[in-house]
Amino acid sequence: MSLGKRSIAEFFGTFWLVLGGCGSAVLAAAFPGLGIGFVGVALAFGLTLLTMAYTIGHISGCHINPAVSFGLAAGGRFSWSDLPAYVVAQVCGAIAASGVLFVIASGKAGFDVHAGFASNGYGAHSPGGYSLLSCLVCEIVMTFFFLIIILGSTHARAPRGFAAIPIGLGLTLIHLISIPVTNTSVNPARSTGPALFAGGWALSQLWLFWVAPIVGGVLAGIVHRILFEKVPEPLIAGDVS
């Protein structure tokens, strides 16, 4: 599959992740009487990833996350030369989805995009008021284990055809743990889209949600490659067909 087609798949996959996950947070989490809350948002992110893993996993590997692409490259599962195209596609997909979500959400009287718009934050903008250090450690550790799950479940010796399930459930669990801390990023593209619309503090704090997930992803790739890789792997991980 050409890099162009794989990048297009990454665009649509990231679009769906952000629209489904952030959309559930903005539109449904606190809906009066029927809101889905933290648990619903966590499940929404997991379901978007699971559905896309089966949809585009055989095309692009379904990274839909720059931290995943960096981690897979560090783990020897993905070509560094393909990384820029993937990251650009992922960020563009996240921005496009955030634009669609903004149009939908702004149709309700009283909507204020500057109130947060599912953006990630630390300190005063952490849902639970957690410090910069707490949020930094949380994002690094959560992304580290997310990549460990991805690398392990897509390994050549793992059962074929089931990788999407532990990966999707892993993302759900990560959100259940860390929504109160950072509103959960573990994905720089997911953080960038909403922050561009929310502006202000969301943009000023966006750096953490690039640095921490990429650090966590790369560390996981290196650790997994040193400790667990025993056989040659395909160039692109994540095929769940």
CA-to-CA dists, residue 90 to 15, 85, 233, angstroms:
8, 9, 23
- Among 20-29, 96-105, 212-221, 224-233, name the one with the lowest average pLDDT: 224-233
Mean pLDDT across the chain: 93
Give the helix ranges, DSSP H, for 61-187: 66-74, 83-105, 132-153, 164-182
C-alpha to C-alpha distance for 181 and 210, rounded to whole angstroms: 16
Map out the domains of the chain as residue ranges: 3-227
pTM for this model (two decimals): 0.92
Q: What contacts 24+ positions apart, CB below 8 Å, involve 155-162?
A: 155/228, 155/233, 156/231, 156/232, 156/233, 156/234, 157/230, 157/231, 161/240, 161/241, 162/240
* DSSP, residue by residue, 26-70: IIITT-TTT--HHHHHHHHHHHHHHHHHHHHHHHH----SHHHHH
pLDDT of 159 higher than 90: no
Which CATH number is correct for 3-227, 3.40.50.300, 1.20.1080.10, 1.10.1780.10, 1.10.10.60? 1.20.1080.10
Q: What share of the chain has pLDDT > 90, as a percent?
A: 85
C-alpha to C-alpha distance for 135 and 183, rounded to whole angstroms: 10
CA-to-CA dists, residue 50 to 64, 163, 169, 218, 229, angstroms:
11, 9, 8, 22, 24
pLDDT at 235: 47
